[in-house]
Amino acid sequence: MNNYQKHLKQISELTYRPTLLLHVCCGVCSVYPLKYLNKYFDITIYYNNSNIYPYDEFKRRLEALNEYLNVLNESSIKLIVAPYDYEEYDKQLVSLKNEKEGGKRCYKCYKLRMEETFKYAVKYKYDYCTTVMSISNRKNADYLNEIGEALNQKYPETKYLYADFKKGDGITINEKMNKELNLYHQNYCGCKYSIR
């Protein structure tokens, strides 16, 4: 049993459902994590993805997320859509535009979105926060958890929930559920550099 599962077992034994601010990047990556985490937490989704280019793509991924939420039919799950500002976001990534996919640019992008999530979680007093990004085969869960741990030290008021949603057949279950749901599946990570 990895630490993540052990921690969730402890959470399941609480006499209340803790609140979780869950960063979601797109519909397809949210399917298994949402279904799984909903057993343990009072979830609010934070769709905070100004890295996605162009705006039509940002909207398309949000539509897929909403489509899944309608299927899931869990009125307890709330959705917050952060303001979209690709130009401001790109200023922070442009110096790394020639980095390979999955490298320093991506690490910075993860950190920017996760820090925005942490700030929101602290401001509105969520018990926990995490991201669904570890479900993706193209995302390094160790990177994400390293970022989460550092942010938790910076913002100790909210706990970071360590995760690798690929584990325990999560990736297989996610892919199967997505095929059944026929949700929109993007073919690049998000920023204009990843389109290449």
Residue 2 — very low, low, confident or very high, per pLDDT cuts 50/70/90? low
What kind of architecture, by CATH, is found in domain 3-11+19-181?
3-Layer(aba) Sandwich (3.40)
Per-residue pLDDT at 142 exceeds 60: yes
Q: What percent of the chain has pLDDT over 90?
A: 86
Mean pLDDT of 108-127: 98
Mean pLDDT of 121-140: 95
Per-residue pLDDT at 1 exceeds 60: no
pTM of the model: 0.95
In the chain, the amino acid numbered 103 is G
Cα dihedral 159→123→155→19 (10° resolution): 0
All residues at 6 or more sequence positions from 64 whose CB lies less than 8 Å from its CB, including other chains: 26, 27, 28, 183, 184
Per-residue pLDDT at 59 exceeds 60: yes
Show me where the domains of the chain are located: 3-11+19-181
Q: What is the pLDDT of residues 83-94, one digit of tens each?
A: 999 999 999 999
Residue 46 backbone class (left: φ over 0; alpha: ψ -120 to 50; beta: rest): beta
- Residue 11 has what pLDDT? 86
- Residue 10 has what pLDDT? 84
Cα dihedral 27→141→78→176 (10° resolution): 40
- Residue 4 has what pLDDT? 74
Mean pLDDT of 2-14: 78
